[in-house]
Amino acid sequence: MNKEIAIEVKNLCKTYKLYERNRDRLREALHLTRKPRHKEHHALYDVSFDIRTGETVGIIGTNGSGKSTILKIITGVLNATSGEVNVNGRISALLELGAGFNPEYTGLENIYLNGTMIGFSEEEIDAKLDDILAFADIGDFVHQPVKTYSSGMFVRLAFALAINIEPEILIVDEALSVGDVFFQSKCYHKFEEFKEQGKTILFVSHDMSSIAKYCDRVILLEKGKKLGEGAPKKMLDIYKQVLVGQYEAPAEAVEEKTGPEPSGSKDAGSQKAQVSGNTEDASKNGNPEEIADVETLEYGSGKAQITEVFVTDPQGRRINAVMKGTECTVHMKVEIRQDVPAPIFALSFKDVKGTEICGTNTMFEKTFLEPCKAGEKKEITFTQQVDLQGGEYLLSFGCTGYEGDDFTVYHRLYDALQLTVVSEKNTVGFYDMNSKVVVKDI
């Protein structure tokens, strides 16, 4: 196996036999019937990918897509039906936190038990014990049986053990945000340390901001198959289509370099939204980040169509750059093509990594909750002071609604506009707190 590859997955399949009745399982096992009594469920079907050493890769997908199953096969918890998995390096896995803990043992005894199961000697665990106990921060409870722990204490100890044994490969399944806010902060800080040290990280999460922030690459699964693989932003955009049932998978999986681009619904209409701005120089930007070849992702049922989007300054001039701390207005023009019960008009901001920073819609703002008739045209404006840090941002737009209990996307435009925020002073985080700071002698 190539040493540059940490995890190699080839044509992986996992099939379960589903029986309607327990006696069908027995009859089939004893060969009392010639007819199969089961149905096959493919949790994974012909999935292949490589993860390079030092790479951080996320796996995303809807519930039941096979994310946890593939992690369990890689870590040896499950056996594959067919296919091959090769691992080059020592793994620490956070699958189901605390799995393998004996509730009758104390926390300390479980540390040694689990450490030994992973492959560490008692001397190696001794060397790491102080770090594990300090990270878990459960005090004298470490000497009490685990069955007496609260759920928070339980996951703190499990996470502390898994994260502090210096693995070469870290595998995480929805376990980064456990415990209180202070413990979560420690977890994310440790995760960032692993990245800086060049560790290989593979993790599953429904937290799209974490996927966008940490991952070098993302693998998208759907119904047991690999739907796509590539840059986080591209895969997250496709995932959002999958979530609302408006992504039509191409004949072959989407690949970053050679695969076909995601297409919108065939019913969305042929009219393209007009995207407006100017070429004002933004060289004074306090934190410049280039956005090259931004592609707008468009899809929807076509019952409504976003026809134009643009940004204006307080004087009504169209712009694509704004000074931090000043006001601007984002415009969205929509044509209603079929009667809709109560459309929701939405705006959101993302950074260059695809992290959604902020957004709102007419339902949140309680500004428009009325039915619309076919042929009506609406202009929606979002006016606000821009306190974002200096940098480049992508604006996305949506027209959605509820038809009965079903959420429906009429038209969405992801990354339709680029807006530069020019700043002479950047602070920590996404937003400026606009603090009034006073220093005085006492």
* H-only helix segments in 87-150: 107-118, 122-136
pLDDT at 96: 64
Report, as an integer, the average pLDDT of 206-234. 88
| Contact partners, residue 428, CB within 8 Å, separation at least 6 | none
pLDDT at 186: 77
Report, as an integer, the average pLDDT of 411-424. 90
Answer yes or no: are the C-beta atoms of 330 and 418 closer than 8 Å: no
Helix (H) or strand (E) holding 322: strand 321-323
Q: Where along the chain do the CATH 2.70.50.60 domains lie?
A: 266-422
The alpha carbon dihedral of 96, 99, 103, 105 has a sign of negative
Query: What pTM, to 2 d.p., does this model score?
Result: 0.70
Query: Band of the pLDDT at 98, cuts 50, 70, 90?
Result: low
Q: What are phi and psi of 140, to 5 degrees?
A: -70, -10
Rounded CA separation 257/270 (Å):
26
The alpha carbon dihedral of 153, 155, 157, 160 has a sign of negative
pLDDT at 175: 61
Taking domain 1-89+198-263, whether its CATH number is 3.40.50.300 is answered by yes
∠ Cα 243 251 305 (to 5°):
45
Answer yes or no: are the C-beta atoms of 392 and 353 closer than 8 Å: no
Report, as an integer, the average pLDDT of 407-417. 93
One-character DSSP codes across 225-270: EEEEEE-HHHHHHHHHHHHTT-----SS-EETTTSPPP---TTS-S
Q: Where along the chain do the CATH 3.40.50.300 domains lie?
A: 1-89+198-263
Report, as an integer, the average pLDDT of 256-263. 40
Rounded CA separation 245/407 (Å):
10
Per-residue pLDDT of 100-153, as tens digits, reads: 788 899 999 999 988 887 778 888 889 989 999 998 888 899 999 999 988 778
Residue 115 DSSP one-character state: H
Per-residue pLDDT of 227-239, as tens digits, reads: 999 998 889 888 8
| Contact partners, residue 417, CB within 8 Å, separation at least 6 | 275, 277, 309, 310, 311, 320, 330, 394, 395
Query: Band of the pLDDT at 99, cuts 50, 70, 90?
Result: low
Considering the four listed CATH numbers 3.40.640.10, 3.30.70.1020, 1.10.357.10, 2.70.50.60, the one that applies to the domain covering 266-422 is 2.70.50.60
Rounded CA separation 6/92 (Å):
13
Residue of 115, 144, 147, 145 lying closest to 132 (CA atoms): 115
pLDDT at 409: 95
pLDDT at 269: 42
pLDDT at 379: 96
* Range picked from 97-106, 278-287, 349-358, 403-412 for highest mean pLDDT: 403-412
Query: Band of the pLDDT at 441, cuts 50, 70, 90?
Result: very high
Residue 173 burial (10 A CB sphere; 0-12, 13-18, 19+): buried
pLDDT beyond 80 at 268: no
One-character DSSP codes across 41-95: EEEEEEEEEEEETT-EEEEEESTTSSHHHHHHHHTTSS--SEEEEEE-S-EEEES
Helix (H, G, I), strand (E, B) or coil at 174: coil
Q: Which of 65-69, 93-97, 194-198, 399-403 has the lowest mean pLDDT?
A: 93-97
Q: What are phi and psi of 233, to 5 degrees?
A: -60, -45
User: Across all residues in the chain, what is the average pLDDT?
Assistant: 83
pLDDT beyond 70 at 54: yes
Rounded CA separation 68/72 (Å):
6
pLDDT beyond 90 at 211: no
Residue of 172, 423, 428 lying closest to 285 (CA atoms): 423
